[in-house]
Amino acid sequence: MKTRLFLAAVLFSLTPGLHAADKKPAPAEKTPAAKANDLASYKTADDLWKHIEELREEPKTQPKSQDEMIAMVKEWFGKQRAAAEAFGKAYPADARRYAAKLIAMQAAMQLSQLPGADATQKTSADDVLKEIDTILAAADAPDDAKGEAAFIKTMMTTEKLDDAKPETIAAFFKAADEYLAKYGQHKLAPQMRQTQLQIASQAKTPEAEALLKKFAEDKDPQLAGAAKEMLAQRAKMADLKTKPLDLKFTGADGAEVDVAKLRGKVVLVDFWASWCGPCIAEMPNVVATYKKLHEKGFAIVGISLDQDKDKMDAATKKHGMTWAQYFDGQGWQNKISSGFGIQSIPAAWLLDKKGMLRETGLRGEALAAGVEKLLAE
């Protein structure tokens, strides 16, 4: 679980409307540079601050393509950054300068993550942390600004998360707990708790298990419900690993598939869909692993969460997925995946030669390495 969770989460939480095409084209807007030149027209701190707040509102138009979305996001954050930096320079004694600094900082971080970002304009983590520490140490910084600064600092620790290094996960949970202890009433506290829950759901550490159990008793019914569901899923997975996996189905091509008859082989049960971007991105690696190790005893069975069989067939043909596929057209209500409690895809279950579930979630080079390890047993 290596992630840039904070940057990605902020970008997409701020741009929920930037995903679908809009039938009516929006009128052309001025470029960030041109807009920045207009900032002189805001004669008071209150006027400029009102303008900054307006700039932070979600764009009302929707892009027609990925390239247009990137251009719109770049312009959006560019305007925010220019206006916030202008506020700080024009009103160095205004208490809102700290909030302006945070807006400019976050906009710069987002801009540095966009495709085609100017390397000379990238903001380093050290620079961000230095700015944050300045805000946290400032005697006149408002509590709200300090809470937001501390939030960013804590979330930046998620960039170091690594399943192979449990101490990185423990460090995040510790930092998050410290944040909530100090800023539990801040408007960003619920988001911090949700991030804790998300990471705990993926991590396989004692701290993650303890946090899920704690959240299961939380007063927030949504948080408690989600945590209970995750704990139930973990218990189900643990139970699945106590006996050979029982999986039989009639494939999309009419052939009967029984995983029990594949004993002696290492088997990947691959939950996927043609509409799932991460699934398709991983497929070349899955296919390459299959071609490399199939003759040595590696088999794959696919469980497609597609609703359109033609699209599934087109994807299997395009990517060279020659193994059997289960398809019932029910999407997330797929009989097999829902029966196993699958809540996200891709989900890769690797069975050993005895049919026992040994690994879940292997991707990239880790998949081939996991298969080879089990083949050697």
Tokens of 321: 């997925």
Residues 6+ apart with CB under 8 A from 213: 227, 231
Peptide bond between residue 346 and the one before it cis (omega within 30 degrees of 0): yes
* 301 in Cβ contact with 324 (< 8 Å): yes
Q: What is the mean pLDDT of residues 148-176?
A: 90
Q: Which helix (H) or strand (E) holds 302?
A: strand 298-304
Instruction: Tell which CATH architecture fits domain 248-375.
Output: 3-Layer(aba) Sandwich (3.40)
Residue, of 166 and 303, whose pLDDT is higher: 303
As annotated, the residues of the chain forming the CATH 1.25.40 domain(s) are 5-234
- The C-alpha atoms of residue 205 and residue 170 are separated, in whole angstroms, by 8
Average pLDDT value over all residues in the chain: 86
> How confident is residue 62, by pLDDT bands cut at 50, 70 and 90?
confident
Amino acid 2: pLDDT: 42
pLDDT, tens digit, for every residue of 87-140? Answer: 999 999 999 999 999 999 989 888 888 887 776 666 778 888 999 999 999 999
* 244 in Cβ contact with 260 (< 8 Å): yes
Amino acid 35: pLDDT: 45
Tokens of 329: 């057209």
- Give the global pTM: 0.67
pLDDT, tens digit, for every residue of 223-268? Answer: 999 999 889 888 888 888 888 999 999 999 999 999 999 999 999 9
- The C-alpha atoms of residue 215 and residue 370 are separated, in whole angstroms, by 33
Question: Which residue is associated with the tokens 């189900």?
Answer: 236
Residue 75 has pLDDT above 70, yes or no: yes
- The C-alpha atoms of residue 294 and residue 298 are separated, in whole angstroms, by 4
The dihedral formed by the CA atoms of 154, 158, 164 and 167, expressed in degrees to the nearest 10: 0
Q: What is the mean pLDDT of residues 354-360?
A: 92
pLDDT, tens digit, for every residue of 328-348? Answer: 999 999 999 988 888 889 999
As annotated, the residues of the chain forming the CATH 3.40.30.10 domain(s) are 248-375
Burial 187-219 (b: 16+ CB within 10 A, else e): ebbeebbebbbbbbbebebebbeebbeebbebe
The residue length of the chain stands at 377
Identity of the residue numbered 370: G
- The C-alpha atoms of residue 26 and residue 219 are separated, in whole angstroms, by 45
- The C-alpha atoms of residue 62 and residue 46 are separated, in whole angstroms, by 30
pLDDT, tens digit, for every residue of 262-306? Answer: 999 999 999 999 999 999 999 999 999 999 999 999 999 999 999
- The C-alpha atoms of residue 6 and residue 203 are separated, in whole angstroms, by 17
Residues 6+ apart with CB under 8 A from 309: 252, 327, 329
Residue 9 has pLDDT above 60, yes or no: no
Residue 33 has pLDDT above 60, yes or no: no
Query: 5-234, which class in CATH?
Result: mainly alpha
* 234 in Cβ contact with 210 (< 8 Å): no
Tokens of 333: 């209500």
Q: Which helix (H) or strand (E) holds 234?
A: helix 221-240
Question: Which residue is associated with the tokens 């052939």?
Answer: 255
Write the CA distances from 375 to 107, 226, 269, 293, 352, integer angstroms: 49, 37, 16, 9, 8
